Amino acid sequence: MDFGPYLLLASLEGAVMAAVLALTAVGLSIVFGVMRVVNVAHGEFFMLGAVFAWWVASWAVGHPAIGFVLALVLAPILVGLIASAADMIVLKRVEYDPERTIVATIGLLYIIQQVTLMTFGPEARPVQPPFNQRLALPWFEFGENGFEIIWPWGLGTTSYKLFVIAAAIAILLAVWALMSRTKLGLYMRATQLDRQMAQAFGINVERVYVSVFGFGAGLAALGAVLIVPIQQAHYLMGGDPLLLSFIVVIIGGLGSLSGTVVAAVLIGMSDGVISMFFSPTLAKILSTLLVAFILIFRPQGLFGKRAA
C-alpha cells in the first residue's frame, strides 16, 4: 500500500483505539484524582462492561440496534453498581489506605475475572453492531492525467468505527460538563482538592467516594460497550486496557482530566501508526519507554501539577 493511504488508514484505526482508551483512562484518572485509589481492577470493570453488553444484547429481540442501545444504557449502570458495592464492602473497610487498596483491588481483579470465567465461560462472544456499512475512502494522486481521485485497495473504514469516535467525544464532553458545571462535579473537585476541608463544609465524602468509584468503573464499561461490536467480549480482555490506561494516566498526569485525554490520543494514535508501519510490539515498547522517561523527567505527568 502507498504511504499516503496507509497513513490515513493507520490514523483511523488509531483514532478508534484512542477514543476507547480515553474513556477508560478518564475513569481511572477520576478515581485516582478524587479518591487517591490505584484501582488495579479497572480493566476488569472494562471487561464486565463488554460481558454485560453481550448479555443484554442477547436478551433483546428485534433489530440489533435495540440490544445495543439497551446495552449502552444498562451495562455501565450495572458495572457502576457493582463497583460502588465493592467500594462499600472492601475499599471503605481498608480505610482507603494506599497500599491496602492496591492489594484489595488486585483481589477484586481475580474475583471478577474468575467469576466471569465460571459463569460467562472462556469463549469470546460477539455483539452485533447497530449498523456497519463499509465506507471506501478515496485518495488523490498526481498521475499522467494530472490530479486524480482513486479508490485504493483496502482503504476504508466502517460507519460503526466512525460512530465510536464521535460517541467517545460526546461522552467526554458530557464528563467535562459534569465535572465543571454540576453540583456533583463541584463536590468531586472539592474532595479531590482537600478531603478534610470538604468534609468540614458538609460534603458527604463517603457518598462522593462511592459514586466516584462507580462512575469511574461505569466509564470503563461504556468504553467496552462501544468496542465490543468490533472486538468481542472475552474474560481476559481487561489486561490491555488496564496497562494502557495506566500508561495514559501517568503520561497525562495523575488526576488531570485534560492531560488524560491528550495522552490517550497520543498513545492511541501512535500505537495505531507505529503498529501498522513497524510492529505492535514496538508500539508497546515505545509507549512503556515514554512512561519511564516521564517518570524520570516529569514525574507529575505532562499536565499534572507538582504535589505540594
Instruction: Catalog residues that contact other proteins under the rule CB under 8 A.
Output: 1, 6, 9-10, 13, 17, 93, 117, 121-124, 126, 128, 132, 134, 136, 153-154, 156, 158, 230-232, 234, 236-237, 240, 272, 275-276, 280-281
Q: How far is the CB of 250 from other proteins (least distance, A)?
A: 23
Residue 78 · residue 54 · CB < 8 Å: no
Q: How far is the CB of 41 from other proteins (least distance, A)?
A: 19
Q: Is the Cβ of residue 176 or residue 240 nearer to other proteins in the bound state?
A: 240
Q: Is the Cβ of residue 198 or residue 225 nearer to other proteins in the bound state?
A: 225
Q: How far is the CB of 152 from other proteins (least distance, A)?
A: 9
Q: How far is the CB of 129 from other proteins (least distance, A)?
A: 8
Q: How far is the CB of 17 from other proteins (least distance, A)?
A: 8
Distance, in Å, from the CA atom of 143 to the CA atom of 209, rounded to the nearest integer, reads: 62
| Strand-strand pairing, 139-143 and 146-150 | antiparallel
* DSSP element (H, E) containing 179: helix 159-181
Q: How far is the CB of 275 from other proteins (least distance, A)?
A: 5
| Strand-strand pairing, 156-158 and 134-136 | antiparallel
Residue 249 · residue 32 · CB < 8 Å: yes
Q: Is the Cβ of residue 175 or residue 265 nearer to other proteins in the bound state?
A: 265
Q: Is the Cβ of residue 121 or residue 299 nearer to other proteins in the bound state?
A: 121
Q: How far is the CB of 273 from other proteins (least distance, A)?
A: 9
DSSP per-residue codes, 46-112: HHHHHHHHHHHHHH--SSHHHHHHHHHHHHHHHHHHHHHHHIIIIITTTTT-HHHHHHHHHHHHHHH
* Residue 32 in grid coordinates: 485516582
Q: Is the Cβ of residue 17 or residue 208 nearer to other proteins in the bound state?
A: 17
| Cα dist from 233 to 124, 199, 216, whole Å | 5, 41, 20
Q: Is the Cβ of residue 60 or residue 77 nearer to other proteins in the bound state?
A: 60
Residue 41 · residue 91 · CB < 8 Å: no
Q: Is the Cβ of residue 29 or residue 275 nearer to other proteins in the bound state?
A: 275
* DSSP element (H, E) containing 297: helix 280-297
